[in-house]
Structure 1
Amino acid sequence: MRWFGGFAAAVAPPRSPVGHARIWPTVPGCWTCGQWAGHEVRAAWSGPRFVAVAGTCGITAAELARLAERGVPDDAAWRWPGSYTTVEVTRTGTRVWTDLGGAWPIYTATADGGTYWASSSRALAGLAGARPDVDRLAACLLAPFVPVLLAERSAFEGIALAPPGHRLTMDGDGARVDRVWHPRPRAGSLPGQLRKELASATKVRIDTAESLTSDLSGGFDSTALALLAGSQARPGQVVTGVTVHPAGRASGGDLDYARLAAQHTGLTHRLLPLTGEHAPYSGLAEVPATDEPAPSTVAHARFAGQLRWIRDTIGTDCHLTGDGGDSLLCTPPIMLADLVAAGRRRRVVVETMRWARLRRLPAWPLLAAARRTARTRRADALAALARELRTGGASTTPDGHIGWHATEPVPPWATADARERADATAHRAATRAVDVPAGMFATTLAAESMAEVGRSARADIQLAEHVGVPLANPFTDARVVDAYLSVPLVERPGPASYKPVLAAAMGSLFPPRLAARTTKGDFNPDHYGGMRANLPALHDLADGHLAALGLIKPDALRRSLTLTAAGLPVPGSTVEPAIAAEVWLRALDREPRVAWTSPSKAKGAA
């Protein structure tokens, strides 16, 4: 597993990870683990100041040297294209700047008279002997669409998460975080800014890859990245767009859109037919351990199969995905409450009518919901959610929902203990909540959603590393997030519009037929088919770690699995989070912990 981290104290680290390499030759308290390419960890120093940038970053050697000479400004978190973390070590302490999209989550643990920090929570769990955080698991199971509940928490007890867009300072007074990034309105064309930042995000990968591949699903997000990469390839460099499709079906749907896009100069197109072995919910016992349940867990057979194929047949050394595009580019419906709170009366009526037509709902109840949400404090909404989680009385979020949190009914397989734990987590979130200014509701939720996507996608990147493929998600890059979320309310598209800014940004690169798309592909048939094919194995998962922890009722979960596999619209039958969590817990038990040296050996080595 690849990760970086260190120990922030005035003394040499009492313990260090087995097999680590120092970032700076003379500084024992910062290290990398696993195999890193030369461009992924760059370091400089000047006198007592040591600076490093870990990850893919467009910083030049001269710019890095200036940081070492003059110090690191707070905008280092988003100054350059790419996905990276900036670290500064001086005599007074260690400072770490977290990226805006959460793609390099930074965790901390207090031990040995100082603070250990790392880009992997599982690594720190190995240091501290930490077990999975049961309260956090309960919140993930019962409220998977409310990322604010997980803020500043890792998946392990006692391991804290530094929020994205913050500066983490570790010195003699302990560890503290300060926010350094806020969305700031920008002058100029939003489509032009998005095009520029996405082009830079793909170029920084093109510049360091020999054989770059990209998902080419036929949707907006992956297609944009594939076309931008192809248009910036070096002479002789091959950029390959990969489209997966059901075996025996060579046309129709997304595949037709992908073929259109693949006609663009600079892009080679390869098709990968999917068979029964790639079905969702297949091969779950093969999912390796990660920092948290990976988003691709239930689709691991397809995910790993695709990555092995592009590794073996194309020799990829960087693969792009469009993950994060939906969360960033699709305006959340709470924007209608933003318009109410900001006094934009005419536009709120127009956008509500458009949203009502799209969802085939009456407009006046939606307008009333927008007005009600505009008057609801975030803390009050979280407190109401806590009550619903505790009683089990939460109802499905209505179509066209305009509110702070999208919810599902508390599933029938959740135990009373799980409800109480989720209730307590939501109450803690309510006590931390701050009032959100009018006009910033949608931006706030989008930023939280991007932090969730970026952090959880790190687990997918770890799955890809297990296969041997470097994975990148440019939509979670700091400058891409900053460019899009800095758009003022008056220029933000309404929730009924399907990614109009990306369509305008891509301009003539998108084939006209693709640019006219207003929906994305439907994968539900594959989902239900895979569940039916693997139902006996899924039933076996019900009697596992989650049941032992007292979070689920096995018989009730099996019933929900059976009904869901049949495609029945059963309230509370969403089971994917439970399956992913159980698979993750079993992988943690199956694989050894990350190894650290003992205090005595580490002291002798220093």
Structure 2
Amino acid sequence: MRWFGGCAPGGRQAVPVGARLLWSRPALWITGTWPVHPARVAVGRSTRLAVLGTCSASERDLDRALTAPDLTEAVGEWAGSFIAVRLTQRNVVEVLTDPAGACPLYTVTTPDGLVWGSSSRALSGLAGGDVDDDWLASYLWDTKAPVPGRSAWANVTPVPAGHRLLLSAEAVHSSPWWSPAKRRPAEALPAVRRALSEGVRVRVEDVETSTDLGGMDSTTLAVIAARHRPITALTAHPSAVTEGGDLQYARALDVPGVSRIEFPLEDHHLPFSPAEVPLPAVDEPPPSNAVWAMLSAQLRITAATGATRHLTGDGGDDLFLPSPRHLVDLARSRRWLRLVSDAMAWARLRRQDPRPLIAAALRGDMEGIARPWLTRPAWLTSSVPTPTAQAGDADSALISSVRTAARTAHADGQLANAVGVELHNPYFDGAVLDAVVSVPSHLRFSAHRYKPLLVDACGDLLPEPHRRRTTKGVFTADFHRGIRANLPRILDLADGHLAARGLIDPAPLRATVHAAALGAETIWASLLPTLAAEQWLAAIERTPAIRWQTTAPAGAR
């Protein structure tokens, strides 16, 4: 498994067996086999700096950050998804977490001091290796609102996104370092384009890369990537569908540097089908669990072309296709005409009554606007409380939503490691989030234009048909077919680890699975996480824990 981490100064140093030290006293390491080295290190007279992950900083930028009075100001403009670590002459470790949470970080407290790392599962080996059932139950209730301040593993604590850790032999201090900037729309659009373009460039310029090629989000990434080096772009489609949809737009994309591959999905690629590559153990239930048979096959196809990195459009919907949470902001500022106009436009688009939307906006109920269908799953038996209603404004709701999606996407990236491919999601870069959230919330929303902010920022890079596209591929029917084709195996999951832990009642879960197999309307946002959690627990059970040692491995310096 690929991950990295380090120790606080003082005490004995706990290091994973087989790790490669970047420096010692205190230890900083990387583990696993990486297609491209994940760390860049700058060394000064009395300080050291490491940037772990994808980062647009030049060597000169690293040298400046090495001695900058304020590290946050030095790294704040860098594109990519990364963690910055600086060791000062006072033997203090400064760790800056990614603003969007795409590079999640965790800590565990041991008798010898604090250890931090990018894998909660790996760190759990220092804290008993137990799954946190309270976190898991809250995840089953609402994947976007698990117990705050906890991870999927007992006694392993997440470091909030956009925070700074200061670690010394005497104390540990955490505080926010990032807050969203405010820009005029005329300034924000170039910022979105610059952040996204730089995030793609730094990922592709020195590495053979593939991309998805389907909707507007992935197409935009493919076109940007091809400006820097030739890439392979893959379009998945049901084998029985050979025209229209994503295929139509993919075939119409004729830009230099893009080599297109079509990937027909057969019955053995259906959701919930067994994959040729066993589901690996990762930090938490991965979003792509149900489609692992398809995703692993897709990644093997692109790997066969020589690609070691694959870019996806995940995160584009979160950023550029928001639900109308801004109605709450309009209500608070008493902009009644705009509130009613936007609520009615959204209601027409969704063929629903606008009155519940307006009522939710007036009472400040953002989740009532964004996810009115959300209910406690009938099979959940745990006493986990109802998730706390989200307060704040549309900006904070967007940030929270992106951070949750980015964190869970990290688990998908760990899945991809099993087939030797790095999975990257440039839309989850902190600089992209900063640029998008700087636009006023009501300007990010439109019921009449598809992803207006993305089109206005990057649309001129796309051919005219793609720029005017207003639809995307939908695979809901495949999930019904997948459950039907794999029904006995899925029903067996109902009587597995979750039931043994007392978290679910198998009977209502089996009833929901049967109904989904028959094509009944299904709340997939409740069913899919439950099935994913069950298979995740099974993968953990069959996978050895990460081993640790308290003596430095060979190669320390």
| Common topology (TM > 0.5) | yes
Report the Cα distance in structure 2 between the residues aligned to 1:67 and 1:600, rounded to whole angstroms: 31
Secondary structure of 1:550's aligned partner: coil
| Counterpart-to-counterpart distance in 2, 1:246 and 1:85 | 39
1:12 Cα deviation from its structure 2 partner? 4.2
Q: 1:302 to 1:75 in 2, by over 3 A?
A: farther
Task: Decide which of 371, 374, 379 is 1:413's aligned counterpart.
Answer: 379
Distance 1:50 1:491 in 2: 42
Q: Distance in 1 between matches of 2:409 and 2:453?
A: 24
The alignment partner of 2:369 has SS state of: coil
1-side partners of 2:372 and 2:168: how far apart?
Answer: 39
**Equivalent in the alignment of 2:322:** 331
Structure 2, unaligned stretches of length 5 or more? Answer: none
- Relative to structure 1, the CA distance from residue 349 to residue 202 in structure 2 (aligned partners, 3 Å threshold; closer, same or farther) is same
Deviations 1:423-447 (A, max 9, x none): 4xx4xx67xx8x63xxxx1111111
What is the RMSD computed on CA atoms of the aligned residues? 2.4
The 3-state SS of whatever aligns with 1:502 is: helix
Higher helix share: 1
Letter in 2 for 1:548: A
Alignment-derived partner of residue 510 in structure 2: 558
- Show the 5 A alignment for 1:19-38: 19-24=18-23, 26-36=24-34
Give the structure 2 partner of residue 258 of structure 1.
250
- 1:214-229 mapped onto 2 (5 Å cutoff): 214-217=211-214, 219-229=215-225
The C-alpha deviation readout for 1:123-152, integer Å capped at 9, x for no partner, is 1012222311101111111122x33x4443
What is the aligned partner in structure 2 of residue 273 from structure 1?
A: 264
Deviations 1:543-581 (A, max 9, x none): 111011101112222121111111213679942111100
Q: Does 1:366 find its partner at 2:357?
A: yes
Are residue 288 (structure 1) and residue 280 (structure 2) matched? yes
The reply to whether residue 583 of structure 1 matches residue 535 of structure 2 is yes
Deviation digits for residues 487-525 of structure 1, max 9, x if unmatched? Answer: 124533346643111122233332333322323222111
Q: Partners in 2 of 1:37 and 1:286 — Cα distance?
A: 21
Of 181, 185, 188 in structure 1, the residue corresponding to residue 182 of structure 2 is 185
Match of 2:430 in 1: 478
Q: Identity of paired residues, percent? A: 39
| Aligned counterpart, 1:6 | 6
| Residue matched to 1:392 | none
Q: Counterparts of 2:499 and 2:361 in 1: how far apart (Å)? A: 40
Letter in 1 for 2:49: V
Shift of 1:46: 2.0
The CA deviation at 1:362 is 3.3
Tell me the equivalent position of 2:64. 66
Q: How does 1:537-556 map to 2 (within 5 A)?
A: 537-556=489-508
Q: How many residues align?
A: 553
User: CA separation in 1, counterparts of 2:124 and 2:115?
Assistant: 11
Alignment partners' CA distance in 1, 2:201 and 2:541: 40
Deviations 1:160-216 (A, max 9, x none): 00111111222245433211111121133433322222111111112221x211000
1:231 maps to 227
Partner SS, residue 300 of structure 2 = helix
Cα displacement string for residues 325-358 of structure 1 (whole angstroms, at most 9, x for unaligned residues): 1111122322111111123233222212211221
Unaligned runs of 5+ in 1: 382-396
Structure-2 residue corresponding to 1:348: 339
Q: Tell me the SS of whatever aligns to 1:412.
A: coil
Contact conserved, 1:278 with 1:301, CA < 8 A, in 2? yes
Using the TM superposition, give the Cα deviation of residue 54 of structure 1 relative to its aligned residue in structure 2, in angstroms: 0.4
Q: Report the counterpart of residue 479 of structure 2 in structure 1.
A: 527
CA–CA separation in structure 1 for the residues paired with 2:179 and 2:441:
15
Contact 1:206–1:212 at 8 Å: present in 2 too?
A: yes
Q: Is residue 2:445 matched to residue 1:445?
A: no
Segment drifting more, 133-142 vs 162-171: 162-171
The match for 1:153 is 150
Normalization by structure 1: what TM-score?
A: 0.86
Alpha-carbon displacement from aligned partner over 1:347-398 (angstroms, at most 9, x marks no partner): 222212211221223334432321122xx6xxxx9xxxxxxxxxxxxxxx8x
**How far apart, CA to CA, are the structure 1 residues paired with 2:274 and 2:36?**
34
Indicate how the Cα distance of structure 1 residues 73 and 95 shifts in structure 2: closer, same or farther if over 3 A, else same: same
In 1: Cα distance, 2:140 partner to 2:147 partner: 12
Identify the range of structure 1 (198-207 vs 280-289) with the bigger mean alpha-carbon deviation.
Answer: 280-289
Partner residue, 2:42:
44
Is the 8 Å Cα contact of residues 337 and 370 (structure 1) preserved in structure 2?
yes
| Structure 2 equivalent of residue 499 of structure 1 | 451
**Distance change in 2, residues 1:336/1:412 (3 Å):** same
> How far apart, in 2, do the equivalents of 1:240 and 1:194 lie?
24
SS in 2 for 1:191: helix
Q: CA deviation at 1:267?
A: 1.2
**Secondary structure of 1:547's partner?**
helix
